[in-house]
């Protein structure tokens, strides 16, 4: 008996006529076709009720959203206030540095005299180079980079340079002057012109950075 159940699985399956008679359609309103007590009466699908939301829960949700918006605005206001304070502090520090710088410049009369000599010396050297008169340029510059006017100039440049940008221009100025001395000594007219332009540009940029442009003549 057990063997016949195992090898004949259709024993447990209902007949096809039985399956056909119990087919239903549940979409919307339909008529039952089965042979049961409903006798073909319409079968209605269950209504779809919206989720129940009470006035109290809706009020709580709206209140929560309002409080969250207030919190967000408060946090934004705090961050904005912090940014304003940081910006104000930076402005104060910059103003303080400018005042200190101007005080130093106003009292650096001797240093400004040395720097004025630099302008006069470079002007004469430039005229000599323009006329291709390198011997005269060499005489004005001095035989070496240890000339007295240049020593005094470097002392003033070092004293009045405070920012990294100003110090960088001083280094460029000295490097260009070294090239200028070398080119003049070698009687290299093109090299002398190029080195002179580099030196003059570096010195002019330095005076602009330090605020001395209006206090020195010939720029």
**What's the pLDDT score for residue 123?**
95
Please calculate the CA angle 215-149-134 and round it to the nearest 5 degrees. 105
Lowest mean pLDDT among 43-47, 53-57, 62-66, 204-208: 43-47
Whether residue 99 lies inside any domain: the answer is no
Please indicate, yes or no, if residue 39 is contained in any of the structural domains: no
Beta-carbon neighbour count of residue 74 at 10 Å?
10
**φ and ψ of 43, to 5 deg:** -110, 120
- Which pLDDT score, from 0 to 100, does residue 215 have? 84
Host domain of residue 159 = 108-215
- CATH number of the structural domain spanning residue 140: 1.20.120.290
The count of structural domains within the chain is 1
In whole angstroms, what is the distance from residue 137 CA to residue 180 CA?
Answer: 10
pLDDT of 3 above 50: no
200 assigned to some structural domain = yes
Confidence of residue 165 (pLDDT cuts 50, 70, 90): very high
For the cut 70, the answer to whether the pLDDT of residue 38 exceeds it is no
In the predicted structure, residue 34 carries a pLDDT above the cut 70: no
Percent of the chain residues past pLDDT 70, beyond the cut: 55
Q: Is residue 169 part of a domain?
A: yes
Residue 199 lies in a domain: yes
The confidence score (pLDDT) of residue 20 equals: 43
* Banded pLDDT at 56 (limits 50, 70, 90): low
pLDDT at position 18 is 44
Determine the average pLDDT of the residues in 92-100.
66
Q: Please, what is the average pLDDT of the chain? A: 74
Residue the block writes with tokens 């405070």: 162
The verdict on residue 191 lying in a domain is yes
Confidence at residue 60, expressed as pLDDT on a 0 to 100 scale: 58
- Helices 109-130 and 189-210: crossing angle in degrees, nearest 10, is 150
* 204 lies in some domain: yes
pLDDT band at 104 (very low <50, low <70, confident <90, very high): low
How many Å apart are CA 41 and CA 66, to the nearest integer?
Answer: 53
Residues 170, 199 contacting (CB under 8 angstroms)? no
Q: Is residue 59 part of a domain?
A: no
């Amino acid at each position: 008996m057990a063997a016949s159940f195992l090898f004949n699985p259709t024993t447990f399956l209902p007949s096809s006529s039985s399956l056909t008679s119990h087919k239903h359609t549940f979409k919307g309103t339909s008529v039952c076709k089965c042979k049961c007590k409903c006798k073909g009466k319409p079968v209605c699908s269950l209504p779809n009720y919206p989720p129940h939301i009470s006035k109290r829960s809706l009020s709580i949700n709206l209140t929560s959203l309002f409080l969250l918006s207030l919190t967000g605005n408060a946090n934004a206001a705090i961050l904005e206030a912090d940014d304003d304070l940081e910006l104000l502090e930076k402005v104060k520090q910059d103003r303080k540095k400018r005042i200190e710088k101007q005080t130093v410049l106003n009292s650096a009369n001797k240093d400004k005299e040395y720097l004025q000599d630099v302008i006069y010396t470079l002007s004469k050297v430039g005229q000599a180079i323009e006329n291709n008169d390198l011997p005269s340029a060499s005489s004005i510059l001095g035989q070496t980079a240890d000339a007295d006017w240049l020593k005094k100039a470097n002392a003033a440049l070092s004293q009045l340079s405070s920012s990294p940008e100003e110090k960088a221009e001083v280094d460029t100025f000295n490097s260009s002057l070294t090239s200028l001395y070398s080119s003049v000594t070698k009687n290299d007219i093109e090299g002398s012109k190029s080195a002179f332009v580099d030196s003059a540009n570096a010195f002019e940029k330095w005076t602009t950075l330090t605020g001395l442009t209006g206090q020195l003549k010939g720029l």
